Amino acid sequence: MRVPLSWLQEFTPVDLPPAELAEVLAELGFEVDAIESVGSPLMGVVAARVLATEPHPDADRIQLVQVDRGTGSRCRSAVARST
């Protein structure tokens, strides 16, 4: 039976990390087969804020986009768009 940690926390005050909780549950006689992390961070993905867009001078369906990646420097990228 799968039991999400969030569901367990609705019924008991659980403040342990999942690995430690699994050990405690095992000591109490509950079998823990695995701990699965859902929604773990994606590697290589960067979120950025779009500052400005303008048409590409040599292409009809491409926009030039200025973005702020949170590093203090602006980055300019070419982004395809559908019309």
CB 5, CB 19: distance < 8 Å: no
- The answer on pLDDT for 71 being more than 90 is no
pLDDT of residue 29: 94
pTM: 0.46
Q: Would you call 22 helix, strand, or coil by DSSP?
A: helix
Higher pLDDT, 73 or 19: 19
**What distance lies between CA 42 and its chain's CA centroid?**
6
pLDDT of residue 80: 63
DSSP 8-class letter at 54: E
Give me the mean pLDDT over the 36-43 stretch. Answer: 80
CB 66, CB 78: distance < 8 Å: no
